[in-house]
A and B are shown apart, each in its own frame.
Chain A
Amino acid sequence: MSTQNAKPTTFDLEALRAKLAGAHGPAFWRSLDEVAETPEFQEYIDNEFTKGTSEWTDPVSRRRLMQLLGASLGLAGLTACTKQPPEKVVPYVRVPEEIVPGKPLFFATATTLGGFAQGVIVESNMGRPTKIEGNPDHPASLGATSIHSQAQTLALYDPDRAQVVVREGSASSWKTFLAAAAAVREKLVVQKGAGFRILTETVTSPSLAAQIRALLAEMPEARWHLYEPVSGDNARAGARIAFGDIVSPVYDLAKADVILALDSDFLTAGPGAVRYARDFSRRRDPNATGGMNRLYSVEACPTSTGATADHRLALSHTNVEMFARALASRVGAPAPPADTSAPAAWLDAVAKDLIDRKGRCVVIPGEHQSAAVHALAHAMNVALGNVGNTVLLTEPIESNLEDQYASLASLIADLKAGKVETLLVLGGNPVHTAPARMGFLDAYRRAKLRIRVGLYDDETAAYSHWVIPEAHTLECWGDARAFDGTVTLMQPLIAPLYDGKTHGEVLSVFRGHGDRTSHDLLKQYWQSQRPGPDFDTFWRKSIHDGFIAGSSARPKTVALQAGFASALPNPPEFSGPEIQFRPDPNLYDGRFANNGWLQELPRPVSLLVWDNAALISPRMAQKNGVQNGDVVELRAAARALRLPVWILPGHAEDSVTVHLGYGRTRGGRLASGAGVNANLLRSPDSPWVAYAGEIRKTGGSYTLATVQMHHSMEGRDVIRSAALADYRKDPRVFAHGEHGKLLSLYPERQYETYAWGMAIDLNACVGCNACTIACQAENNIAIVGKSEVVRGREMHWIRVDRYFSGELDAPDIHHQPVPCMHCEKAPCEPVCPVAATVHSNEGLNHMVYNRCVGTRYCANNCPYKVRRFNFLLYSDWTSKSLEGLRNPNVTVRSRGVMEKCTYCVQRISTARIAAELEGRKIKDGEVVTACQAVCPAQAIHFGDLNDPASNVSKIKKDPRNYSLLEELGTSPRTTYLAHLKNPNPALVKAGTSDHHAALVQIEARRA
């Protein structure tokens, strides 16, 4: 990796620890720099635009800039005199059915990740899919989506997608491929498929699986291999240990009073995350039926789930297993007692809490934890009577249950033995994602004919004879199963932009049906499954709904194996720091590496963008004498990797976390060059952790981009958090510092029609960032690139701030989404010299792009730091394919204008016109902002404050409701519901994490 010359921030971690422990530091802090009060941090809070943000710092182009400056000064007056260039209007020749020009249509389809489907509804504007929303009827969505589903529209229009059939490096055609494949098939049929291998990722698609099986029946010598770096291998192995059979657990968190996450990020990762976040958040409401739930999290690297937990214990990957072993025996599961470094008080308290709520609790193992942890979790759930209550065990969802690392290893062995002639790689990117020590690339090159179907011309495509562009999920017909087994159907929103083919279509070529489309394949399969005269009704209904009703996986009755305890593998040998590998929360295994929205979306907790890093604890940083950005060498089993460190408070002490998905060498302009490839260090026997790792300082340093210091509100009292018990005692626990009605120089405005307002429930928020990316998709928000983020110029209209509180090594973590507050007395408005930001009669704070001259006074005067300035031309006005992506109802901004959250004013306008046409008022719930719609936790509420019966009006009456920086008298329309924690009384240390104590600290610091 390249290193840049950057002066790293140095601070004495021991001093910081003492400062925080002694309550001399801030109660809530966002970065170590803030606690240390480094000059860098000071600069961020002194100036709205920190040094380098508003200056032109690129030395090479400075002269050019001066030239442009002079020229634009001379020509400035003339620009207004240009005539509008003539434009063409291009009507249809024949209007497609149902299209009303100017009105969007909505279609149900699905996106997949790791083989599992999420039902979505896609908005199509005159044939262009532009925005993805959740499918309210789909069990894995309930109307919300993950960040990955949101990013699919950008993926569709990505200008770097593979666009032509490539044969040995030069452009070819599908027709040529068909001819070549027909010859191959002829030979294969004769030799019964000997030497033919198919490599897929996880398959849940019933139609694709049936197709592969039919092919294998015709060619019995052929073999189907699977490999996907993130798969359910461990979960399946764990179920086999526990029950002797494979089952898929589906959790019902609506029924769970106590949840223990064993290194599981179930709220934001995995196929059921969106649904789980919904069910979980419902039970975070202190007034929920059944009461507020309690979440314990045991994990090494802080995740969104850990941050949301009432109690989080930082334990290394290896120690999580020891913890599970020790806990299992305490809750009555037949497991041998074990030693663990976890505090006994913690274990006892958790065990008691679980036992007290038998049948109403749940233990959730992380999918990257060992098979033993999965088996122990099953045993605990059985012992606690949860199976059948909070845990449903079903038939496995996946179509092929093979262990995928073993499957890839056997493929590699066969390749090396020369047994493979033709290898068909359907999706995936094994050249990049396979652990380097497996030697996949060397083996791959031994296959005589390598055919690859994929979305990008990536590392695997580079070594393939044939590269077939893959149809994007929005371009084809297909099916896949959701986390609970529900068969979810995909229908195309647009014809393939680059004539891409589906996996099924390419497979079909090898079955001798090169002319079958994805529609034929899907429909024929389901027709064979549902013969009968009512097929057409069934089919139309299922396509319309987006899924097949009642197709969730059947429950499976299993019993814990008698010899369960002895079947458990021995605990791992552990020496030295471990290096744990995890899929990146945004880029996953690297498949989203060319997706700018996901690259620039801050990673949960670390808030890093555009890079991965070795995430380490403050203590490990001290031990190794490293600071943020120092490059270290990680070693594991004779392989080494150099990458910068990032100190993450709350990380387990003896563990290093590295995310996959980076270090791509091919596959698009954004993919290559970001971060380093962790697969170089991984091993197939233990893909998620290297037990005996080494970490060594190299002396180099590297600039990491993080947004954790940007847009800081200067340690003012922005987060309010209290324990449930304190809140029950006195619901006015949050009402401190109320300033009464503040006097204002400005007259009170009357809002006669609507008064739009928002409430964000910090208690529901799980910090998944979906709001940020949904807003980006809805409002045509540009990405800016790493170097611009370093300068503090990211453009997100709604950001999710992350605050730490408490001790340096085991802090509490809080999330706070911050959009524009739409203040009634907005400080930005009076300072604009050209009235480009003004107040509306419905209480919105408008930003008028065509008036803005870019003084940036408004941003300077905004205490919430929610205004974003287009310092450069960030919107991509040149890539042709991206034109299709734009929301036609939102202006694409140019250079030199300010922008910010509009409360999705285009959606308000649409609703207003619809209501006026029908001669009625806008109904409550008719305007749904993009962030509100996507939120899995339903933390965001929006509506008319003039209507006392509206949902948002009612929510704002909650005693937890508070305004940000109330003392400034801005009267924000966006307010927050304060955060509650539901700690176990047995684990509460006196005087910690208490809101009043935090306030005392704030007051003391101010004095």
Chain B
Amino acid sequence: MGQIFGPTANTVARVSIVGGVLLVAGGMILVNAVDRSAYTSGTNIPPEQPVPFSHKHHVGGVGIDCRYCHTSVEKSATSGIPATEICMSCHTQIWADAPMLEPVRESYRTGKSIEWVKVHDLPAYAYFNHAIHVNKGFSCATCHGRVDQMPLIWKVNTLFMNWCLDCHKNPEKYIRPKEEVFNMAYQPKEDQMVLGARLVKEYNVRKLTDCSVCHR
């Protein structure tokens, strides 16, 4: 009886071992890539909204401060999605008949809220507080990007935990003077790391990384 495995069998074995390892590794990398892709995290994709509200126009063009609409950002966990009456405080006067704004007028008339699609949507087990961040010198733009350049709003950061932790471990990389927090176009005048280190100390920024800071 001849040998079952010919000389080529060694090559086949070697290739299949290496190939197998590569396949498994490749698969894992692929799964990881999909998991962290924009497809999963939803970054850079503006969802369709009931009214195509443009931050570019309102912030970049008209120059309205963030806090005019997001009223509770300095005092509460949530920044506050503006109530219809805030929209109408201007739009009873300007663009009062624009067809695009009909859902806003309808909401004001009927008392039924506009249902916006959440863009920055943390999982239910993560608790974020806007007030403490903006009061310690972390800008809206640091997390939300240059909304003054966005015709429709989208997410520029993944909001993954490692993204949060990057700043929680190295706040000096991102901190800015408190008076620049709502300035979209801010650029540091000196080396960020020098300025950051100084501000972290000055503002008593604590590098909180305990689980319960966000999860409870």
Say if the beta carbon of B112 comes within 8 Å of chain A.
Answer: yes
Say if the beta carbon of A103 comes within 8 Å of chain B.
Answer: yes
Say if the beta carbon of A878 comes within 8 Å of chain B.
Answer: no
Task: Verify A889–B216 contact, CB threshold 8 A.
Answer: yes
Provide the bound-state CA to CA distance between A905 and B211, in Å: 11
Task: Verify A906–B216 contact, CB threshold 8 A.
Answer: yes
Task: Verify B118–A91 contact, CB threshold 8 A.
Answer: no
Task: Verify B81–A842 contact, CB threshold 8 A.
Answer: no
Say if the beta carbon of B165 comes within 8 Å of chain A.
Answer: no
Closest B residue to A91 by beta carbon equals B81
- Among A89, A94, A102, the residue within 8 A (CB) of B72 is A102
Provide the bound-state CA to CA distance between A90 and B47, in Å: 16
Closest A residue to B132 by beta carbon equals A913
Say if the beta carbon of B80 comes within 8 Å of chain A.
Answer: yes
Say if the beta carbon of B102 comes within 8 Å of chain A.
Answer: no
Provide the bound-state CA to CA distance between A496 and B107, in Å: 24
Say if the beta carbon of B92 comes within 8 Å of chain A.
Answer: no
Say if the beta carbon of A75 comes within 8 Å of chain B.
Answer: no
Chain A contacts for B131, CB-based, 8 A: 913, 917
- Among B34, B83, B108, B125, the residue within 8 A (CB) of A95 is B83
Say if the beta carbon of B2 comes within 8 Å of chain A.
Answer: no
Among A81, A88, A93, A94: residue with most chain B CB under 10 A = A93
Interface string of A593-632 (1 = CB under 8 A from B): 0000000000000000000000000000000000000000
Interface string of A885-919 (1 = CB under 8 A from B): 00001111000000000100110110001001101
Chain A contacts for B47, CB-based, 8 A: 86
Chain A nearest Cβ from B121, distance in angstroms: 5
Interface string of A832-843 (1 = CB under 8 A from B): 000000101110
Interface string of A817-861 (1 = CB under 8 A from B): 000000000000000000000101110101011100000000000
Say if the beta carbon of A92 comes within 8 Å of chain B.
Answer: yes
Task: Verify B215–A849 contact, CB threshold 8 A.
Answer: yes
Task: Verify A102–B76 contact, CB threshold 8 A.
Answer: yes
- Among A83, A92, A95, A100, the residue within 8 A (CB) of B76 is A100
**A-B contacts, CB under 8 A, total:** 130
Chain A contacts for B107, CB-based, 8 A: 93
Chain B nearest Cβ from A453, distance in angstroms: 30
Say if the beta carbon of B136 comes within 8 Å of chain A.
Answer: yes
Say if the beta carbon of B127 comes within 8 Å of chain A.
Answer: yes
Chain B nearest Cβ from A8, distance in angstroms: 43
Chain A contacts for B216, CB-based, 8 A: 889-891, 902, 905-906, 909
Task: Verify B82–A91 contact, CB threshold 8 A.
Answer: yes
Provide the bound-state CA to CA distance between A850 and B160, in Å: 14
Say if the beta carbon of A345 comes within 8 Å of chain B.
Answer: no
Chain B contacts for A533, CB-based, 8 A: none
Closest B residue to A779 by beta carbon equals B216
Chain A contacts for B115, CB-based, 8 A: 88-90
Chain A nearest Cβ from B111, distance in angstroms: 5
Task: Verify B75–A100 contact, CB threshold 8 A.
Answer: yes
Say if the beta carbon of B114 comes within 8 Å of chain A.
Answer: yes
Say if the beta carbon of A180 comes within 8 Å of chain B.
Answer: no
Closest A residue to B81 by beta carbon equals A91
Provide the bound-state CA to CA distance between A838 and B212, in Å: 10
Chain A contacts for B204, CB-based, 8 A: 916, 919
Say if the beta carbon of B40 comes within 8 Å of chain A.
Answer: yes
Task: Verify A103–B111 contact, CB threshold 8 A.
Answer: no
Task: Verify A84–B132 contact, CB threshold 8 A.
Answer: no
Closest B residue to A849 by beta carbon equals B125
Provide the bound-state CA to CA distance between A327 and B84, in Å: 73
Interface string of A97-114 (1 = CB under 8 A from B): 000111100000000000
Task: Verify A88–B72 contact, CB threshold 8 A.
Answer: no
**Contacting residues of chain B (39-86) with chain A, CB-CB under 8 angstroms:** 39-40, 42, 47, 71-72, 75-78, 80-85
Supposing A81-B35, A850-B125, A916-B132 touch, asked if A841 and B215 sit within 8 A by C-beta, the answer is no
Say if the beta carbon of A534 comes within 8 Å of chain B.
Answer: no
Provide the bound-state CA to CA distance between A333 and B199, in Å: 78
Say if the beta carbon of B22 comes within 8 Å of chain A.
Answer: no
Interface size band for B? 35 or more
Say if the beta carbon of A87 comes within 8 Å of chain B.
Answer: yes
Closest B residue to A90 by beta carbon equals B113
Chain B contacts for A838, CB-based, 8 A: 211
Say if the beta carbon of A66 comes within 8 Å of chain B.
Answer: no
Task: Verify B132–A905 contact, CB threshold 8 A.
Answer: no
Say if the beta carbon of A80 comes within 8 Å of chain B.
Answer: yes
Say if the beta carbon of B179 comes within 8 Å of chain A.
Answer: no
Main secondary structure of the interface of A (DSSP, over half): loop
Say if the beta carbon of B186 comes within 8 Å of chain A.
Answer: no
Say if the beta carbon of B142 comes within 8 Å of chain A.
Answer: no
Task: Verify B129–A913 contact, CB threshold 8 A.
Answer: yes
Task: Verify B121–A84 contact, CB threshold 8 A.
Answer: yes
Chain B contacts for A840, CB-based, 8 A: 210-212
Say if the beta carbon of B29 comes within 8 Å of chain A.
Answer: no
**Contacting residues of chain B (106-126) with chain A, CB-CB under 8 angstroms:** 107-108, 111-118, 121, 123-125
Interface string of B178-216 (1 = CB under 8 A from A): 000000000000000000000000001010101111011
Task: Verify A101–B78 contact, CB threshold 8 A.
Answer: yes
Chain A nearest Cβ from B130, distance in angstroms: 8
Task: Verify B78–A909 contact, CB threshold 8 A.
Answer: no
Chain B nearest Cβ from A622, distance in angstroms: 51
Closest B residue to A839 by beta carbon equals B210
Chain A nearest Cβ from B100, distance in angstroms: 18
Closest B residue to A848 by beta carbon equals B211
Say if the beta carbon of B31 comes within 8 Å of chain A.
Answer: yes
Provide the bound-state CA to CA distance between A347 and B121, in Å: 70
Closest B residue to A94 by beta carbon equals B85
Say if the beta carbon of B135 comes within 8 Å of chain A.
Answer: yes
Task: Verify A93–B85 contact, CB threshold 8 A.
Answer: yes
Provide the bound-state CA to CA distance between A849 and B117, in Å: 27
Task: Verify B40–A88 contact, CB threshold 8 A.
Answer: no
Task: Verify B72–A902 contact, CB threshold 8 A.
Answer: no
Task: Verify B116–A89 contact, CB threshold 8 A.
Answer: yes
Provide the bound-state CA to CA distance between A390 and B172, in Å: 64
Provide the bound-state CA to CA distance between A94 and B110, in Å: 11
Chain B contacts for A90, CB-based, 8 A: 113-116
Among B35, B210, B211: residue with most chain A CB under 10 A = B211
Chain A contacts for B31, CB-based, 8 A: 77, 81
Task: Verify B124–A891 contact, CB threshold 8 A.
Answer: yes
Chain A contacts for B85, CB-based, 8 A: 92-95
Chain A nearest Cβ from B125, distance in angstroms: 5
Provide the bound-state CA to CA distance between A77 and B31, in Å: 10
Provide the bound-state CA to CA distance between A916 and B111, in Å: 37
Supposing A81-B31, A913-B131 touch, asked if A101 and B112 sit within 8 A by C-beta, the answer is no
Chain A nearest Cβ from B105, distance in angstroms: 11
Provide the bound-state CA to CA distance between A417 and B29, in Å: 86
Task: Verify A93–B108 contact, CB threshold 8 A.
Answer: yes
Task: Verify B125–A93 contact, CB threshold 8 A.
Answer: no
Chain B contacts for A80, CB-based, 8 A: 35
Task: Verify A101–B80 contact, CB threshold 8 A.
Answer: yes
Provide the bound-state CA to CA distance between A891 and B118, in Å: 20
Provide the bound-state CA to CA distance between A483 and B127, in Å: 42
Chain B nearest Cβ from A1007, distance in angstroms: 44
Chain A contacts for B208, CB-based, 8 A: 841
Chain B nearest Cβ from A900, distance in angstroms: 12
Interface string of B11-47 (1 = CB under 8 A from A): 0000000000000000000010011000110100001
A-B contact pairs, 14 of them (CB 8 A): A81-B31, A89-B117, A92-B113, A93-B107, A93-B108, A101-B72, A102-B76, A841-B208, A844-B210, A850-B125, A889-B127, A889-B216, A916-B204, A919-B204
Given contact pairs A753-B206, A848-B211, A905-B212, a sample of 18 additional A-B residue pairs in the complex whose CB atoms are under 8 Å apart: A83-B40, A83-B42, A84-B42, A86-B121, A87-B117, A87-B118, A88-B117, A91-B82, A91-B83, A92-B85, A93-B107, A93-B112, A838-B211, A844-B212, A892-B124, A909-B129, A909-B213, A913-B129
Q: Which residues of A contact B (CB under 8 A)?
A: 77, 80-81, 83-84, 86-95, 100-103, 753, 838, 840-842, 844, 846, 848-850, 889-892, 902, 905-906, 908-909, 913, 916-917, 919
Closest CB pairs A-B (n = 10):
A102-B76, A102-B78, A840-B210, A91-B81, A102-B77, A92-B83, A93-B84, A905-B212, A87-B118, A88-B115
